[in-house]
Amino acid sequence: MDKTILVVGGAGYIGSHMVKMLLAKGCQVVVLDNLSNGYRNAVVGGDFVFCDLADKANLAHIFQAYQFDGVMHFASFIQVGESVQNPTIYYQNNVANTLNLLDTMVKYEVKNFIFSSTAAIFGEPQAVPLDETHPKNPINPYGLSKLMVEQILRDYEAAYDLRSICLRYFNAAGADPEGQLGERHVPETHLIPLVLQAASQRREHITIFGQDYDTPDGTCIRDYIHINDLCQAHWLALQQLWDGSRSTAFNLGNGEGFSVREVIDVAKKVTGKDIPIIEGQRRDGDPARLVADASLAKNTLNWKPQFADLETIITHAWTWEQQHGIKW
């Protein structure tokens, strides 16, 4: 596969797993990251370029140095609460900086773009599971920033023939099955690594935010998708663009939801550890259920998740936590 791919944010959680997969597919990979949320040692190969998307001159230099066949963009701020408290950095990084990247692509005639979007563009679910036609009413600046980029991409296809596929994640989870890569955010906000940190005693307890939701056990239900399955969808989407597809968007999830208590119970089974629980109050903006209808991605991309089982997802994450978690 003689293709050169630019992975923006390739030192982060999803980006680093994507880089590993692209290298295994035989692609030449260039990683662009400012290491604000990523780790240099998470980049397992390819060419690494330290760069911020706000640096237009450096961006131009990178596009002059390489002939890219596609760009994958993972370099976003993702914390919902932070976006409410400090929206300026979300609109600057997630929207304005993405415009810098897109304008550079237009200038150097790079036509294929894969965008890391989110289920947060939908806001409060009106029906579950959520398919691509669900109304889009984000309730926080994070979700709105992603929806803005989706609209920008539609306009850029019409004006500049820059074709894109937006992939709307539900809950990315798990770790590299080979144990080389895993999830490490500072601060960590995702449920599964928080639960496993409590199991390994790196964290004193796990807090369940709300026990009175309209769900079987009263806790929130979410759709967890294995990081490798997520990356496989990106690869298939990029191939679809190479095959001449027009711009589109897909929801990515397993189509099955698990409650917070179910995640904790499976983690106890996988780890064999006690996991201390504290019951907290509901958080603003937490819907009771968020589950994807990913049938469009499965049918259009011929995408078949390989690690849909929650126990497998948690097992891979636990392997990473045991091997690497204590070191960083």
Q: Which residues are catalytic?
A: 142
Secondary structure letter of residue 11 according to DSSP: T
What DSSP letter does each residue of 45-92 carry, written as one string?
Answer: SSEEEE--TT-HHHHHHHHHH---SEEEE------HHHHHH-HHHHII
Amino acid at 121: I
Return the closest-CA partner of residue 17 out of 235, 285, 221. Answer: 235
Q: Where are the beta strands (DSSP E) in 74-137?
A: 112-118
Show the DSSP H helices in 176-259 as ranges.
191-199, 227-242
Half-sphere exposure of 295 (CA within 13 A, CB side): 5
Which residues, at least 6 apart from 91, have a Cβ–Cβ distance to it below 8 Å? 141, 145, 148
Beta partners for residue 31, in sequence order: 7, 48
Rounded to 5°, angle at Cα 60 from 79 and 71: 55
Which residues, at least 6 apart from 144, have a Cβ–Cβ distance to it below 8 Å? 121, 138
Q: Where are the beta strands (DSSP E) in 98-151?
A: 112-118
Secondary structure letter of residue 292 according to DSSP: B
Count of other CB atoms within 10 angstroms of residue 302 = 10
CB 165 within 8 A of CB 237: yes
The CA-atom distances, in angstroms, between 299 and each of 225, 251, 278, 293 are: 17, 12, 42, 12
Helix 13-24, helix 227-242: angle, nearest 10: 60
What DSSP letter does each residue of 263-287 carry, written as one string?
Answer: HHHHHHHHH-----EEEEPPPTT--
